[in-house]
Amino acid sequence: MNNKKLWRSMPLALAVAFSNSAMAGISLYDQDGTTFSVDGHFNAFYTYQDSEDKVAKTTAKTSRVRMGFLPNYIGFNVAKQVDGLTVGGRSSFWVSINDSNQDGDNTKTDSMIDVRQFYATVDGDFGQVLFGKDFGLYARSNIFGDELLMGVGFAPKTTANTTFGNITTGYPYANPTAQITYRTPVMSGFQVAVGVLDPNTTGGTSDDTNSARFETEATYNADYDGVTVKAWLGGAIGDSATAGVDANGISYGARVGVAGFALSASGFNQEGISSVFASNTLVNSAESDGYLIQGSYAFNANRVVLSYGQTEDTAAGSSVTTQNSLTGAALFHKINDNLSLVAEYTVHKTDNGTIDTTQTDTMALGATLSW
């Protein structure tokens, strides 16, 4: 994997766990069936890294002040009751605090305002229709359910934007894409989402695809006398007509929580889809799969997380499998409902199929503020 190229191309990451509808946030207007609210998230971390290239036998120590896995963002939500329907929409704007590290930026003040979401929704007894730009369905719950979502995770030392969380070490990124998506009503805890998305072929042009990208996700949520259960199953299909690649993938996972303890496990298996960007159809039939296992315990104002994830990539026609893994532990301490302190330690390793080639140990200390 070309890490340097990957870090530069990585877009701003994804939101706090909002999914189908607007977050509650702070209500600015609520009259005559019309509501308008705003929500946001701010964070910064001090990170210290000890990196080792085991092939070149070199080491490097790096200190940074940077964003974590989530960027800083502000979001606006609107909804209105009209003729038995609820019509609404969401727009969210994402900002980098590490603009001074942007390559080729002579001004050093480009905060990279990036619109991750810009969509409308229509809700009724039939369910919901969403049209516009939003996060993809495939592997969506894998990443939204990451216990390190509010932390740092995999932190490439040279990236000018967000860190990676467990992208490339447990799941691909369900990056925002133009889409039309239908969600059923929730029935006994079950809900199904089906969407048609704008195809994206890595390394190709717009005529590389002769069909749209189709994605789906089924979720189940329940509470059995204090035992909470969430499970999901997702899928994606697409193609690259010029390269003759039929892309397909499956994602899955479950989380069980009781008395402050939670255990979650998720995974994916795919062919012809990027192990970094879940929306990208490759121009070859490369295969990848991965999983993420996490345990957490919440007590008083604290939450402790233990995490292990890995992704394996096999190039088309190759028998060699490379592996990226991340082992981590974190402590989240709530000062109040909005402000939290975070301490995290992770170890990232890369294996070329024969030996470990790199290892990066990262210590992170930071704060997050959300509303």
C-beta atoms surrounding 250 within 10 Å: 15
pTM for this prediction: 0.89
Report yes or no on 294 lying in a domain.
yes
Report yes or no on 320 lying in a domain.
yes
Q: Quick check: 238 pLDDT over 90?
A: no
Report yes or no on 213 lying in a domain.
yes
Q: Which residues pair with 49 in a beta bridge?
A: 62, 362
What's the chain's average pLDDT? Answer: 88
Contact between 256 and 233 (Cβ < 8 Å) = no
Q: Quick check: 133 pLDDT over 50?
A: yes
Report yes or no on 345 lying in a domain.
yes
244 confidence band (pLDDT: 50, 70, 90): confident
Q: Which residue has the tokens 């995770």?
A: 153
- Domain residue limits at 296: 44-69+120-370
Report yes or no on 108 lying in a domain.
no
* CA–CA gap between residue 255 and residue 252 (Å, rounded): 11
List pLDDT tens digits, range 196-216: 999 876 554 445 555 678 999
What is the per-residue pLDDT for 163? 92
Contact between 252 and 227 (Cβ < 8 Å) = no
Neighbour-count burial for 181-204, b at 16+ CB within 10 Å, e otherwise = bbbeeeeeeebbbbbebebbbbeb
Number of domains in the chain: 1
More confident site: 71 or 262: 262
Q: What angle do CA 245, 141, 290 make, to 5 degrees?
A: 55
What is the per-residue pLDDT for 241? 65
Length of the chain: 371
Q: Which residues pair with 257 in a beta bridge?
A: 228, 262
Kindly state the average pLDDT of the residues 293-318.
96
Q: Which residues pair with 115 in a beta bridge?
A: 93
CA distances from 330 to 125, 149, 255, 290, 296 (A): 42, 11, 18, 21, 9
Least confident of 139-148, 166-175, 219-228, 312-321: 312-321
Q: Which residue has the tokens 């190709």?
A: 204
For 309, how many CA atoms within 13 A lie in the half-sphere containing its CB?
Answer: 33
More confident site: 291 or 212: 291
Report yes or no on 3 lying in a domain.
no
Q: Which residue has the tokens 């040279």?
A: 158
Calculate the CA 365 to chain-centre distance.
Answer: 21
Report yes or no on 278 lying in a domain.
yes
What is the per-residue pLDDT for 20? 37
Kindly state the average pLDDT of the residues 228-245.
86
List pLDDT tens digits, range 76-117: 999 999 999 999 999 999 888 887 765 555 555 666 778 889
* CA–CA gap between residue 214 and residue 201 (Å, rounded): 14
Q: Which residues pair with 28 in a beta bridge?
A: none
More confident site: 212 or 273: 273
What is the per-residue pLDDT for 2? 42
For residue 57, the SS3 value is coil
CATH number of the domain that residue 271 is part of: 2.40.160.10
Kindly state the average pLDDT of the residues 313-333.
94
Report yes or no on 14 lying in a domain.
no
